[in-house]
Homo-oligomer: A and B are copies of this chain.
Amino acid sequence: MLEGYQPYIRQANYYETDRMGIIHHSNYIRWFEEARLDYMEQAGFGYDKMEQMGILSPVVGVSADYKAAVTFPDTVIIKVNMTYFNGIKMNLSYEVWNRRTNVLCTTGESRHCFVGKEEFRPLSLKKQYKEIYEIFLACI
């Protein structure tokens, strides 16, 4: 568990709504990313720092379950949790709460690997980037 973790808070944007009147479902995948990068920053290793070191962490799978709609100008609280990490693969789970109604609106999961920037070859953080490995390992 990431000690002292603060969930990610952001307002739903007008341009993220669709003509159903609610936030288009695809945007939650983007919100997951915002919350994930914030989580990594809080863990002590921001994604831009990883990129500068030549490491990318592409999404190899993503899922979302929509339970209740969110719309502008709602504010959501997104709680991220690292559910798996072994230096080669990393899974994170997400909960999107509506701050006003206190309702759990969406849950989701993303799965990641680590690859080198140039040729997208799989990396083992454990072997090649011990420092980052230790930081993320402490998050589980």
Contact = CB atoms under 8 A, between A and B. Distances in A.
Interface residues of A, number: 37
A27 to B, nearest CB: 8
Given A14-B37, A21-B19, A63 B61 contact: yes
B61 A62 contact: no
Chain A binding surface SS class: mixed
Interface of A: 13-15, 17-22, 24-27, 29-30, 33-34, 37, 41, 46-48, 56, 58-66, 69, 71-73, 120
Highest count of chain B CB atoms <10 Å: which of A41, A47, A73: A73
B66 A64 contact: no
Highest count of chain B CB atoms <10 Å: which of A14, A19, A41, A72: A19
